[in-house]
């Protein structure tokens, strides 16, 4: 039994048991790396449907992390494949522009896998809570308060009312307001958008056929993401379900969120169109202010930032969590390689390799999503014509189209 002032020895201590921190912890523990994960919040309440209404688009590249972490088989429900992606431009209440961009995974070959999978945030939380207690190399402290002392020769994580953990690397996976990042004095650049993302699920009459839609409107993108059938979304079940991420100017979003369900559904239908038949809200609605953020560096003495502690982007391409998973893949590979070779997983050389591998990729994605939002969140007729022609050009240029498909899948 752990007692106050007792000591545990670990290779890595991860602060934050969310999707990125929890998945990295499982990946390391699956490889036999002595790992501790600490979170301020209790983990079990996060499984409740009312806790988080988001759904994640897990790219094909990110799937590797969940497989190596042993989490994919633990998902409580089958993930929905994304087999096609359609990008269009338009105005509210009007048909989409005839110039569009359409990706089909079959274009990569008859046996090509999907672009990705849709997974409920709640489902991934259940998988983490199921799997973490089964790993002999992993210790979990949640809810727990902790302080961190980092020195050149190692780090000590002190659990309030619990043991001290001596480790060689601390990973900050605590979210955008990371205390460890602030403690290390790492500056950040923030880009406010004046937009709010509204997320919710709908049941609809017609099947989505595994097609994800990104429809650009003057106030921001309106994304429709295919979900697996739900046995309890409506009375008698719902065979056709989709998640929606609807971006609006913040003031408009506040008024929209205040609408009753019937009026809210009508406003969503004006943007979505009627190709799926009648839509009905499933569960609650959530709203989140949108902004971008990038830490000026990802490392400090015995410290690595990962996921939202290091970066945050506009949800316009649905890649925010996937960037965090790519952080975890790179950092996990480096740590496993170092420990198995008898080397220090928190050495300056390893941390430098991690930063060089991840920061340029994250900066490029931030620049791309920021540029897309600024280009498409405009009703300027000249910009509208230019972007419609650009969308159509990509659709008709196979090499460029393949590049976009690889980016969507998170593969190189």
Whole-number pLDDT of residue 386 = 64
pLDDT(392) > 90: no
Q: Taking the mean position of all CA atoms in its chain, how far away is CA 95?
A: 30
Residue 408 pLDDT more than 60? no
Helices (H), 132-178: none
Query: Which residue has better confidence, 132 or 368?
Result: 132
- Phi, psi angles (nearest 5°) of residue 51: -75, -45
CA distance 276 to 203: 9
Domain with 30, as residue range(s), is 7-47+130-190+293-374
More confident residue, 142 or 50: 142
Give this prediction's pTM: 0.91
Q: What pLDDT does 216 receive?
A: 86
Residue 321 lies in a domain: yes
Q: Which of 13-17, 148-152, 217-221, 255-259 has the lowest mean pLDDT?
A: 217-221
pLDDT at 157 over 90: yes
User: How many residues are listed for the chain in this entry?
Assistant: 412
Has residue 229 been placed in a domain?
Answer: no
The pLDDT of residue 307 = 97
In this prediction, what percent of the chain has a pLDDT beyond 90?
67
Per-residue pLDDT, 103: 81
Residue 293 and residue 320: Cα distance in Å, rounded? 11
pLDDT for the residue numbered 407: 60
Residue 143: asked if its preceding bond is cis (omega within 30°), the reply is yes
The residue whose two tokens read 């008859």 is 110
- With 70 as the cut, is the pLDDT of residue 204 above it? yes
pLDDT in tens, 286-313: 999 999 999 999 999 999 999 999 999 9
324 part of a folded domain: yes
Which residue blocks in 179-273 are alpha helix, DSSP H?
A: 179-183, 250-257, 261-272
In a domain, 393, yes or no: no
The domain that holds 336 is classified in CATH as: 3.50.50.60
* Mean model confidence pLDDT for the chain: 89
According to DSSP, the residues that pair with 304 across neighbouring strands are 171, 299
The string of pLDDT tens digits covering residues 216-236 is 888 988 999 999 998 777 777
What pLDDT is recorded for position 105?
A: 83
How far, in Å, CA of 227 to CA of 75, rounded? Answer: 14
DSSP character for 210?
Answer: T
Q: Within a domain: residue 215?
A: no
pLDDT digits (tens, 9 = 90+) for 340-378: 999 999 999 999 999 999 999 999 888 888 877 777 776
Q: Is residue 16 part of a domain?
A: yes
Q: Report pLDDT for 283.
A: 85
Residue 367 included in any domain? yes
Q: Which of helix, strand or coil describes residue 227?
A: strand
Determine, yes or no, domain membership for 345: yes
Query: Taking the CB of residue 347, how many other CB atoms lie within 10 A of it?
Result: 15
Work out how many domains the chain is built from and give that number. 1
With contact defined as beta carbons under 8 Å apart, do 123 and 77 qualify? yes
Say how many C-beta atoms besides its own lie within 10 A of residue 105's C-beta.
22
Give the lowest-confidence range in 181-190, 315-324, 358-367: 315-324
Q: What mean pLDDT comes out for the span 35-52?
A: 83
Whether pLDDT at 379 is above 80: no
| Whether residue 14 has pLDDT greater than 70 | yes
């Amino acid at each position: 039994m752990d007692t106050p002032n007792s000591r545990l020895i670990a290779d890595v201590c991860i602060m934050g048991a969310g999707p990125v921190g929890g998945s990295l912890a499982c990946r390391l523990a699956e490889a036999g790396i002595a790992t501790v994960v600490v979170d301020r919040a209790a983990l079990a309440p996060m499984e409740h449907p009312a806790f988080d209404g988001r759904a994640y688009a897990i790219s094909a590249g990110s799937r590797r992390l969940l497989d190596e972490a042993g989490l994919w088989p633990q998902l409580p429900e089958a993930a929905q494949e994304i087999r096609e992606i359609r990008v269009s431009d338009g105005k509210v209440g009007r048909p989409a522009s005839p110039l569009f961009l359409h990706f089909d995974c079959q274009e990569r070959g008859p046996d090509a896998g999907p672009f990705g999978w849709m997974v409920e945030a709640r489902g991934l939380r259940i998988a983490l809570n199921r799997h973490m207690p089964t790993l002999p190399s992993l210790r979990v402290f949640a809810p727990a308060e902790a302080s961190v002392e980092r020195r050149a020769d190692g780090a000590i994580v002190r659990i309030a009312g619990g043991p001290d953990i001596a480790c060689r690397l601390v990973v900050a996976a605590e979210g955008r307001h990371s205390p460890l990042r602030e403690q290390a004095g790492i500056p950040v650049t923030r880009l406010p958008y004046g937009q709010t993302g509204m997320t919710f699920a709908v049941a609809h009459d017609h099947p989505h056929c595994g097609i994800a839609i990104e429809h650009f409107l003057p106030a921001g993108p309106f994304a429709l993401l295919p979900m697996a059938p739900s046995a309890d979304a409506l009375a008698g079940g719902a065979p056709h379900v989709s998640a929606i991420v609807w971006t609006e100017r913040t003031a408009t979003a506040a008024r929209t969120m205040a609408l009753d369900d019937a009026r809210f559904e009508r406003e969503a239908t004006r943007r979505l169109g009627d190709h799926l038949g009648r839509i009905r809200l499933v569960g609650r609605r959530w709203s989140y202010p949108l902004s971008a953020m990038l830490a000026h560096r990802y490392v400090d003495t015995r410290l690595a930032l990962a996921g939202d502690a290091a970066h945050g982007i506009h949800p316009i391409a649905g890649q925010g969590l996937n960037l965090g998973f790519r952080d975890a893949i790179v950092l996990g590979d480096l740590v496993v390689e170092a420990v198995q070779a008898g080397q220090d997983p928190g050495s300056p050389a390893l941390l430098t390799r991690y930063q060089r591998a991840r920061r340029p990729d994250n900066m490029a994605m931030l620049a791309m999503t920021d540029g897309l939002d600024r280009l498409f969140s405009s009703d300027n007729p000249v910009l509208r014509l230019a972007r419609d022609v650009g969308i159509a050009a990509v659709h008709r240029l196979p090499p460029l189209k393949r590049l976009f498909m690889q980016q969507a899948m998170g593969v190189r």
